[in-house]
Amino acid sequence: MNEQTKAIIKSTAPVLKEYGEDITKVMYRRLFDNYPEAKDLFANAAPDQYKKLASMVYAYAANIDNLGALQKGIEKVGKIHVGVKILPKHYPWVGEALIGAIGEVLGDAATPEVVQAWEEAYAFLSKVFIAKEEELYAA
Ligand code: HEM
């Protein structure tokens, strides 16, 4: 991610704080519509799971220039993901649903620049999770 991308992501933190839970609710709807097989993975997830996801997406945007602040959270979520057998192939499913949800909820505020920046930022965070989870699966 270049500095420009990081600046755009950071500028979306306030709207994510405000609309994050709307976005993640829509994200799950899109995920399960497009990939019904993902439902099984969430069989035992808490009903307010979307709130945790929203809060992490917000924390990511707010700390995009200081990712060390997310390290502990990534570790914890990585362990939970491994416990329910999340695999690398699942990340693009969530990415597509999340970026689509950002567009759907933010409407005109989701400019092409914002969408492009989130595509890059999501790809970056996916790689971090996938690497962490690979390490946990191997252990
Ligand atoms: C970068 C992308 C992702 C982020 C930021 C993220 C974030 C989170 C967070 C914050 C939690 C809650 C952990 C807790 O309970 O404290 C969680 C749990 C979960 N995530 Fe993810 N996640 C991501 C990708 C994925 C993917 C790709 C899948 C698979 C489709 C997935 C499936 C799950 C499931 C099933 C749980 C709940 C497990 C349970 O409680 O039974 N996540 N994730």
Report all structural domains of the chain as residue ranges with CATH numbers, in order of start.
3-138 (1.10.490.10)
Closest ligand 1 atom to the C-alpha of 38? 30
Residue 82 corresponds to which amino acid? V
Catalytic residue among 28, 91, 113, 137: 91
**Tens-place pLDDT, residues 28-84:** 999 999 999 999 999 999 999 999 999 999 999 999 999 999 999 999 999 999 999
What tokens were used for 38? Answer: 């993902």
Q: Report the residue among 94, 96, 120, 136 best suited for mutation to probe ligand 1: largest number of ligand atoms under 8 A from its CB.
A: 94
What pLDDT does residue 78 have? 98
Q: How far apart are CA 6 and CA 24, in angstroms?
A: 21
pTM for the predicted model, two decimal places: 0.96
Query: Structure tokens of 20?
Result: 């994050």
**At a CB cut-off of 8 Å and minimum separation 6, what does 101 contact?**
23, 24, 26, 27, 30
User: According to the model, what pLDDT value does residue 23 have?
Assistant: 95
Q: What is the pLDDT of residues 82-102, one digit of tens each?
A: 999 999 999 999 999 999 999
| pLDDT at 1 (0 to 100) | 92
Q: Indicate if 137 belongs to the active site.
A: no
* Cβ-proximal residues to 57 (8 Å cutoff; 6+ apart), any chain: 16, 20, 23, 24, 98
